[in-house]
Amino acid sequence: MTIENLLTSLRTDGDKITIIDQLLLPHQEKWIEVDSIEAAYDAIKSMKIRGAPAIASLAALSLASHLSIALKSDPQPAFLASPNALRDHVLPQLSYLYSSRPTAVNLGAATRRLQNTLQAGLDAGHSAEDIANALVKEGRAVADEDFGRNREMSKHGAEWLVERVKAEGGEASGLNVMTVCNTGSLATSGYGTALGLITHLFEQGQLGKAYFTQTAPYHQGTRLTAMELVTIGAPTIHAVAVGADRVARNGDTANKVGTYNAAVIAARHNIPFIVVAPVSTIDLDTPDGSKIPIEQRPGVEACLVRGAVYPPSSSASEPELTQVLLTPPALNHTTSVYNPAFDVTPAGSSPP
């Protein structure tokens, strides 16, 4: 397997941004253009793109593209007339993007990073054009840095697991790892976090089997993680590796619903439980998991299943997709369904 085999969540070509519509995977691979900040907000909110690092990258890239196009316009828009006009335009856009999915701390980190770039330019007395150019550069850097960081995290996590198994007298090959949700290339700018650890083991010939759990609200386990493992050709559980959307100061971790279940089972059976996440996911302003805001998804999402019609029609050129309701029609999907997108795993929930 080579890096070229990996799937990706987004692509850029100059100021053009396209994302793969993850709601249609694995049955259809449809790339859609994100041509405005509003389109980026919609893609994040509707989960056409998901994964904390990926949505942070898209948010930052959408602002960078917006400003880059404005700088090339003739005449330029009014918000480039002065530094204060630029500030008054950019700050609401960043707040708007952050509101799309606020549990993911990476999104907040990206928007604050751009706010700091803006403020630094204002404090230095730079022109509106210079500040806008700095914001374009910083926005693109958010996405560019993610890939290299993911590779390093994955390598460190895999090496730690190998040494742990060796220390207990085990063989450092044929390692079996379970993961939750989707934390691979589709959830990041490339390679992945927890699924990146699995990918690194596979590259080194040390992976036995990779197991994934089902995940609400959009079946990210069976749809997306399964697709990534099939794409790279990967084949007793030695560890559970998960990503994180936010890690509180005390180590409590918010991740996709079902993560806490996996942590409890891992602890019960003395299996290492590994959180693979960048430093930007650690929120030092949040003291513990009780203070992490938990995104509530529409109740109806928990009652629906989307997929390809089976058996497929022999005359269809591509899979026909449909959506079905699993719950009784009389159920009030607005008030009777509790559908949190995340749960919180307390620090110290797994064996040392």
Q: How confident is the model at residue 1 (pLDDT cuts 50, 70, 90)?
A: very low
Q: pLDDT higher for 193 or 334? A: 193
Residue 63 above 70 pLDDT?
A: yes
Joined together, the tokens standing for residue 7 give: 């799937």
Q: What is the pLDDT of residues 151-204, one digit of tens each?
A: 999 999 999 999 999 998 888 889 999 998 888 888 898 889 999 999 999 999
What pTM was computed for the model?
0.77
Q: Where in the chain is the domain with CATH 1.20.120.420?
A: 3-146
What does CATH list as the number for 3-146? Answer: 1.20.120.420
Non-local (6+) Cβ contacts of 227 within 8 A are 7, 25, 26, 186
What does CATH list as the number for 149-291? Answer: 3.40.50.10470
Q: Where in the chain is the domain with CATH 3.40.50.10470?
A: 149-291
Burial 170-206 (b: 16+ CB within 10 A, else e): eebebbbbbbbbbbbbbbbbbbbbbbbbbbbbbbeeb
Range from 84-93, 156-165, 257-266, 284-293 carrying the lowest mean pLDDT:
257-266
Burial 12-51 (b: 16+ CB within 10 A, else e): beebebebbbbbbbbbeeeeeebbebebbbebbeebbbbb
Q: What is the pLDDT of residues 275-284, one digit of tens each?
A: 999 998 999 9
Range from 3-17, 38-52, 149-163 carrying the lowest mean pLDDT:
3-17
Range from 158-162, 233-237, 262-266, 304-308 carrying the lowest mean pLDDT:
233-237
CA dist., res. 59 & res. 10, Å (int): 12
Query: What pLDDT does residue 4 have?
Result: 53
Catalytic residues, which ones? 245
Q: How confident is the model at residue 218 (pLDDT cuts 50, 70, 90)?
A: low
